[in-house]
Structure 1
Amino acid sequence: MKTLIVGDKPTVERLAERLKQAGSHAEYQRIQCVLIRATLGSSAQQIAQLLGWSTGTVHVIHSRWSKEGDAIFELRGRGGRHHQHLTPEQEQQLLAPFVARAEAGGMLTVAEIQQAYQEQLGNEVAPSTVYRLLDRHGWRKVVPRPRHPKSDVAAQAAFKKPSPHGTPRGRAPG
């Protein structure tokens, strides 16, 4: 077994303290992977079995820790708006006049917002870009209801005039 990880007291104490401060499960497991090797001297296969990892992953973590040190525990978050046209603050400024108009009872169309967005940006954008912008800021599409929520369907059916008996609608089946 190679001695990539030296189990000296300051290293073990530093790793133990870092383990208490771990911000995510992935970070916690990475620290455990190194700490188990430093304290118990376990093999990569034993550590992999404890953590539910493959042996290769344990080898990679140990190798990276010997080269990079504690930097391997700093995990970058996934996702984010890496290709944004405008910052969230700029988007709010763009939507401000439309918000004021909507609060006054005005009707808005996506085409108007898209045109303002394109003028500020200087490029053309797809309508889906504007719909995602509106969704990010809590807007939703409001459409008229097909019927009133308090309407009584039975009362409406009783109100309708029955067809006379001589018409096709008024005949009894059969």
Structure 2
Amino acid sequence: MKNLISCDKPTIAALADRLKRANSHAEYQRIQCVLIRATLGSTAAQIAQLLGWSTATVHVIHSRWAKEGDALFDLRGRGGRHHQHLSPAEEGRLLAPFTTKAQAGGLLHVSEIKQAMEEKVGSAVASSTVYRMLDRHGWRKVIPRPRHPKADMQAQDAFKKTPHSGTPRGRAPG
């Protein structure tokens, strides 16, 4: 097996220092994987058993260490908006006229926002995309209340119990 990791003291000292400054568990384990090989000279199978990894993963980490060096430990976060139609700033500019309309007390329809977005993007956009965009910008669905706040519920119940004059139930017995 070829030696991909140099066992010199400056490399080991740099790895040990980096281990102390690790920001995440994944970064810590990657540094350990290289450091164990550099200090103890353990095999990939032994390192895999210590870290709870597969032997193939240890081989990949050692190979990448030989090619990339310290860049191997700079892990990018997962996730992100990789398939976006508009950037968040562009979405904000698209929603600006609708925001002013909403602040003036007007009702908004998602179909109008969808149409504006389709014109901006230049292709068809699903309604769910528009709803997710509104959610990202802190919009929420406001539904009209079921009854007027000044409604007298007792008067409404009494009205429901009185028969209407033009119905068979409302006629006087003859």
Per the normalisation by structure 1, the TM-score is 0.78
- The answer for the alignment partner of 2:53 in structure 1 is 53
* C-alpha distance in 1 between matches for 2:105 and 2:23: 46
1:172 match:
none
Residue type at the aligned position of 2:13: E
Q: Deviations over 1:122-142 (max 9, x none)?
A: 222121221111111111212
The match for 1:138 is 138
Deviation at 1:75, TM superposition (A): 2.2
1:33 aligns to what?
33
Distance 1:148 1:32, change over 3 A: farther
Q: State yes or no: 1:22 paired with 2:22.
A: yes
Local SS of the residue matching 1:45: helix
Q: 1:44 to 1:103 in 2, by over 3 A?
A: same
In structure 1, what residue type is equivalent to 2:14?
R
The equivalent residue for 2:113 is 113
* Identical positions, percent: 73
Once the two structures are TM-superposed, the CA of residue 94 in structure 1 deviates from its matched residue by 0.9
**Helix, strand or coil at the partner of 2:107:** coil
**Quick one: distance in 2 between partners of 1:63 and 1:125?**
44
CA deviations over 1:134-174 (Å, ceiling 9, x no partner): 1111112122344689x9x9x89x9675xxxxxxxxxxxxx
Q: What is the SS of the residue equivalent to 1:131?
A: helix
Number of the residue aligned with 1:5: 5
The one-letter amino acid paired with 2:10 is P
Instruction: Specify the SS of the correspondent of 1:128.
Output: helix
Say which is worse superposed, 53-62 or 107-116, in terms of deviation: 53-62
Query: What SS does structure 1 have at the residue aligned with 2:82?
Result: coil
SS state of the match for residue 53, structure 1?
A: coil
What residue number does 1:67 align with?
A: 67
SS in 1 for 2:36: helix
Match in the other structure for 2:169: none
Distance in 2 (alpha carbons) for counterparts of 1:55 and 1:121: 47
In 1, Cα distance between equivalents of 2:51 and 2:145: 55
Q: Would the alpha carbon gap of residues 7 and 126 (structure 1) be closer, same or farther in structure 2, given more than 3 Å must change?
A: same
Q: 1:169 corresponds to which residue?
A: none
Query: In 1, Cα distance between the equivalents of 2:104 and 2:147?
Result: 25
Q: Which amino acid aligns with 2:138?
A: G
CA distance in 2, matches of 1:67, 1:97: 52
Are residue 97 (structure 1) and residue 97 (structure 2) matched? yes
| Structure 1 stretches lacking a partner, 5+ long | 162-174
Instruction: Give the equivalent residue in structure 2 for 1:168.
Output: none
Please report the TM-score for the alignment, with normalisation by the length of structure 2: 0.78
C-alpha separation in 1, matches of 2:21 and 2:85: 36
Query: Whole-Å Cα distance in 2 between the matches of residues 120 and 63 of structure 1?
Result: 46
